[in-house]
Every structure is written in C-alpha cells, then in structure tokens.
C-alpha cells in the first residue's frame, strides 16, 4: 500500500504539470488499473479469510 501511495503521489505531480495530453491519459490508465487490481486483491483476501473462518471448515 505504501508503494501505491508513493506512486500515486508521483503520478499526480506529473499529471498536474504535464503538457503532453497522452501522458496524462496514460497516468489515468495506470491509476484505473492499479485501483482495479487492489480491489480484486481485497475481495480475494476477504473471501479467503471468510472461508478459513467458516465453521463448515472446522470439522475437516
């Protein structure tokens, strides 16, 4: 998460200063994909935690 925060801060600085519109759109694409990956990871970790704590699994 620290890595992502640092990266997003750096990207935002480029985003604010860049005069190259395609570069700005690429930054938006990076932010979109990393946010989507993070959400996917959180959902999978949540599912894993839920499964490990399921009483149905305790008897196994």
**Encoded tokens for 28:** 């938006």
Q: How many CA atoms lie within 13 A of 25 on its CB side?
A: 3
Q: Does residue 51 touch another protein according to CB under 8 A?
A: yes
Work out how close the CB of 59 gets to another protein at its nearest, in angstroms, rounded to a whole number: 15
CA dihedral sign of residues 7, 16, 39, 29:
negative
- According to the binding rule CB under 8 A, does residue 38 interact with another protein? yes
Please report, as ranges, the residues that interact with another protein according to CB under 8 A: 3-4, 7, 10-11, 14, 18, 21-26, 28-30, 32-34, 36-38, 40-41, 44-45, 47-48, 51
């Amino acid at each position: 998460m620290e890595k992502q925060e640092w990266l997003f801060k750096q990207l935002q600085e480029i985003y604010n200063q860049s005069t190259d519109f395609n570069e700005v759109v690429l930054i938006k694409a990076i932010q979109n994909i990393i946010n989507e990956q993070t959400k996917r990871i959180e959902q999978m970790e949540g599912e894993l935690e839920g499964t490990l704590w399921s009483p149905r699994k305790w008897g196994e």
